[in-house]
Each structure stands twice: as structure tokens, then as C-alpha cells.
Amino acid sequence: MNILVTGGAGYIGSHTCVALLEAGHSVIIADNLSNSKRENVEKIMRLVDKEVTFYEIDVTDEEAVDVIFRNYNIDGVIHFAGHKAVGESVEKPLDYYCNNIVSTIVLTKACKKYDVRRFVFSSSATVYGDNTVPFVESMNLLPTTNPYGETKAMSERILTDIAKSNPAFSVSLLRYFNPVGAHESGLIGEVPSGIPNNLMPYVTQVAKGNLKKLQVFGNDYPTVDGTGVRDYIHVMDLAEGHVAALENLTEGVHIYNLGTGKGTSVLELVNAFEEANGIEVPYEVVGRRPGDIASCYADVSKAERELGWTAKRDVISMCWDAWRFEKNNFLRLPTMLNR
């Protein structure tokens, strides 16, 4: 299939392009490089020794998107492009609503015009809110605590309504849990801008000596050791989940959790990182981070049953690969030392 991958130069998109190309599909990337670099596209091609078509465009730009649909016989769209920083979304809600919602509308309009029937969307476990774990696709969604989460819930609703109105349209809403790690080659991975907000990128910065110590946000949650529990998933497992979703897509709307089904606490992740890489990660326990929930992990039985997909890589592999990418790609950043 010819797949249009929006945001394909970014973290999850680049790994998914590798998985798509390895599965024999052709890839057209549309990315405005607002949170990624062009060299990622070259790295994807180097990793699989195949060509990729790249358009540096903003996917909220209807004209620019139309050019791609006009020039290529697109069989499906995987829509990753979007802003993703929770805290920033609280400060700049308009930017988040514009980018994340308008992009979905522009792309689905083009799908309608050019009769493209397959659409895979990057959603997030954040749409479950503070539900009871494990999160199951059939649960009623609870309000999220930030505009970012709302853009995901709204995009899900928009895509569901479109699919209802056009029975030939096939939509897969993929709710990611916590993607971490990097491609096993160490060539592509996650490049957070500035001081990371997420746990694994923060841990790798501490391990490298760029940051003094990890702050553990709360140890009084009702969890195994009091620290927050999440379902970390290796980004290559996540990438392969997209290929499975695309290849098994049938008419209508299908929602899948992409996680491992296993919860890991903050301290368990820190211990796994130390064990995997033989490096100490100093930490201190501080207060809870506003908006955090105690536990978030997936019921993954639906993806297994309907897509034949399960995550294969364990937390130790996630820690190896996150660290390999960090070591291969970054120098010490002295400006971060003060925190």
C-alpha cells in the first residue's frame, strides 16, 4: 500500500515508517519539521535501504495536503502529526486545538475528496482519564485534565462521526500507553526539546550526567511502592502495532489499546534502567505532579484478538535501547546542570 504518514519525521512516526517499509509498503511523509529534523527521513531510508518521499508541509494547509493526494494514489493515512506536550497545551490551548483538530479535519476532507478509505489515528491513553485499571476500549471516557487530551478525545469523536456517515470509511483509533525506547540500531529515537517532561528521557539525561537527579513525583499513591504506575511500551512494538492495525483494517471504527498490559512503577523503571545499563540513577522523592493519576495500564486483549498483535519487548530492552540511542546521539548539555 502507499501510505501517507503525517508527522513521519517525528519519534513514533519515524519508527513506524521503518516498520511499514520493512512490511513492504511505500511511504510518503508529510511533516513541517516543527518538532523533528529532516535527517530523520534520511536515517529511515538508511535503516531499510529504501526510498521515502518527503513533503515538508503543514498538514493544516489544505492546498499543500491536496497536492499530495493529487500526485499519489494514497491507500491509507496514518496521522501522527500534532503537538504533544501536556503542560504547553495548558499555556497555549489555541495552538493545540488549531494544530491537532484542524489537521484531522483537513486530512479527512482530502480522504473524502480522493476516496481514500483507510485512516489510522494516534490517540492516547489520556482519553480514559482517571478510570479503573486496566483500561478497556469499551469504557466510558472521562474528562482529561488538559487541552492536549481534549484534542485527542475530540479527534476520536470527529473520526467516529465521519465513519458513521460513510460506511466505506475505515478508521483505527490507536490509544498509545507510554512509548519509550528507540530503534535497536540506535540511529533513530526520541529527541525531547529542552528539559524532558517524561520519565524515560529524564532518566537518560540523569544517567548521562546532564541532569543531577530524577525527581520522583510522589510516593504515596495506592500502588506497589507508592510511585506512579504506567504501561511502558517499546516504540518498535508500537510501530509494528500500526502496521497490524493498517493491514487488518475493516469498515467502521475500531479502537485499540497499544500497550503491554503490564504496569511498571517509577522506581521499578529506575531499577530496571540501572540493572540493564549498569549506571546509577540518583533520585529524590518530591510531591505529586498536578494532573497525574496513580495507575495507567492497558487491557490489551482486543488488539491481540483482532489484530494478532502483542508487544514483544520487555522493560529491560526498552532501557537498553533508550540508553543506546542517547549515547550514540547526544553530547553533554551543560546548561541543564542546575536543576
The contact set with ligand NAD (CB under 6 A) reads 6-7, 9-13, 30-36, 58-60, 80-82, 84, 99, 103, 122, 124, 176, 179
* 178 binds ligand UDP, rule: CB under 6 A: yes
* 117 binds ligand UDP, rule: CB under 6 A: no
Q: Name the DSSP class of 126.
A: G
- Per-residue string for binding with ligand UDP, 220-259, x by CB under 6 A? --------x-x-----------------------------
Find which of ligand NAD, ligand UDP, none residue 292 binds, CB within 5 to 8 Å per kind. Answer: ligand UDP
Q: Give me the least distance between CB of 143 and ligand UDP, in Å please.
A: 16
81 and 4 in contact (C-beta within 8 Å)?
Answer: no
Minimum CB distance to ligand UDP smaller for 230 or for 324: 230
* 270 binds ligand UDP, rule: CB under 6 A: no
Q: Which of 59, 85, 31, 11 has the alpha carbon at shortest distance from 239? A: 11
Q: Which of 284, 150, 269, 279 has the alpha carbon at shortest distance from 215? A: 284
Minimum CB distance to ligand NAD smaller for 35 or for 277: 35
CA distance 83 to 59: 12
Q: Give me the least distance between CB of 325 and ligand NAD, in Å please.
A: 13
User: Could you confirm whether 148 is annotated as catalytic?
Assistant: yes
Judged by CB under 6 A, the residue of 266, 267, 272, 303 near ligand UDP is 266
Phi, then psi, of 284 in degrees rounded to 5:
-135, 150
Q: Which ranges in the chain belong to alpha helices (H)?
A: 11-22, 39-48, 62-71, 86-91, 93-113, 147-165, 199-208, 235-247, 266-277, 301-307, 315-329
110 and 116 in contact (C-beta within 8 Å)?
Answer: yes
Minimum CB distance to ligand UDP smaller for 245 or for 322: 322
Minimum CB distance to ligand UDP smaller for 145 or for 310: 145
Minimum CB distance to ligand UDP smaller for 99 or for 295: 295
Contacts of 97 (CB under 8 A, 6+ apart): 147, 150, 151
Find which of ligand NAD, ligand UDP, none residue 31 binds, CB within 5 to 8 Å per kind. Answer: ligand NAD
Residue count, binding to ligand UDP (CB under 6 A)? 15
| Options 55, 148, 232, 297, the catalytic residue | 148
Minimum CB distance to ligand NAD smaller for 131 or for 166: 131
Q: Which of 107, 58, 60, 80 has the alpha carbon at shortest distance from 12? A: 80
Could you give the dihedral angle defined by the CA atoms of residues 47, 48, 50 and 54, in that order, rounded to the nearest 10 degrees?
Answer: -50
Q: Give me the least distance between CB of 244 and ligand NAD, in Å please.
A: 17
The per-residue DSSP string of 201-255 comes to HHHHHHHHTSSS-EEEE-S-SSSSSSS-EE-EEEHHHHHHHHHHHHHT--SEEEE
| Preceding peptide of 222 cis, ω within 30° | no
Nearest residue relative to ligand UDP (C-beta): 228
Q: Which residues are catalytic?
A: 148
Which stretches of the chain bind ligand UDP, using CB under 6 A? Answer: 178, 197-199, 202, 214-217, 228, 230, 266, 289, 292, 296
